[in-house]
Amino acid sequence: MELLFAIAIGVLTASGIYLLLRPTIFALILGLALLGYAVNLFLFAIGRPTLDAAPIIGAGERYADPLPQALVLTAIVIGFAMTAFVVALALRARSEWGDDRSEFANDSTKSSALENGASENSISRNSSSENGSSEKSESVGFENAELESTRTENARQENNGPASRPAAVSDPKSSGERG
């Protein structure tokens, strides 16, 4: 059982660290969660895993150490709250930056883009969604998928830069409604 336990902790830790090194926030959160599981299992194991024994002294021949269980409970509560917090933070980051990259490496370029173009970003995003809706209403008359796709290509090239991604997101929805 000890071997199984140790392998489980090792695999969880390794996967957690691998995910922590990924460049997207979503992977980062998963990595933190996996690392948290590994740490909790580890804490659970430090009292030496005991089978079929109550954590009460005098209840039987053997008893389980209750303290690691209390520690794990505290760690789980804190870890759960923190995961929820990071998820909320990541959602806000996603809505402000328009993508999910954590930008640990080249964020100096990103920061200037954000500071200078934060307002432009939101404006162009609005305009791109307007484009999408107008195309949709026109496309009913055309009913020509090829023409439509070339037009979205053009639109995508027009608002290059930070707005290109929201435009790409809005495309499948409008085409889906068309189909």
Partner 1 sequence: MNHLLILPILVPLCCACLLLFLRGASIGAARGLALLSSLLQLGLAGLLLAQSSDGAIQLYAAGHWLPPYGIVLVLDRLAALMLFTTAVLALPALLYAAGGADRDGKYFHVLWQFQLMGINGAFLTGDLFNLFVFFEVLLMASYGLLLHGRGAARLRAGLQYVVLNLLGSALFLLAAGIFYGLAGTLNLADLSVFIAVAEPADTPLLAAAGLLLLIVFGLKAALFPWYFWLPRSYAVASAPVAALFAIMSKVGIYATLRLTLLLFGAHAGALAGLLLPWLWPLALLTLILGSLGVLAATTLAELIAYCVVVSVGTLLSALALNSMAALTALLYYLMQSTWIVGALFLLVDLIAGRRGSVAGRLQSAPKMASHAALGGLFLIAALAVVGLPPLAGFVGKLLLLQAAPLPDKSILWLALLASSLVGLVAFSRAGSVLFWRTDTVVWRAGTAVPAPMPLPINAVCAVIVLLGAHVALSVCGAPIVKMLEATAAQLFDAEQYTAAVLVQMQNPAGVEP
Q: How far is the CB of 78 from partner 1 (least distance, A)?
A: 5
Binding mask 108-147 for partner 1 (x = CB under 8 A): --xx--xx--x-----------------------------
- Which amino acid belongs to residue 87? V
Q: State residue 101 phi and psi, 5-degree precision.
A: -75, 140
Quote the DSSP letter at residue 64: -
- Choose among 44, 62, 65, 57: nearest CA to 1: 44
Rounded CA-CA distance 64/28 in Å is 35
Interacting span for partner 1 (CB under 8 A) from 39-47, 51-59, 126-134, 153-161: 39-47
Instruction: Look at the chain and count its residues.
Output: 179
**Interface with partner 1 (CB under 8 A):** 20, 25, 28, 32, 35-36, 39, 42-43, 45-48, 67-68, 71, 74-75, 78, 81-82, 85-86, 89-90, 92-93, 96-97, 102-104, 107, 110-111, 114-115, 118
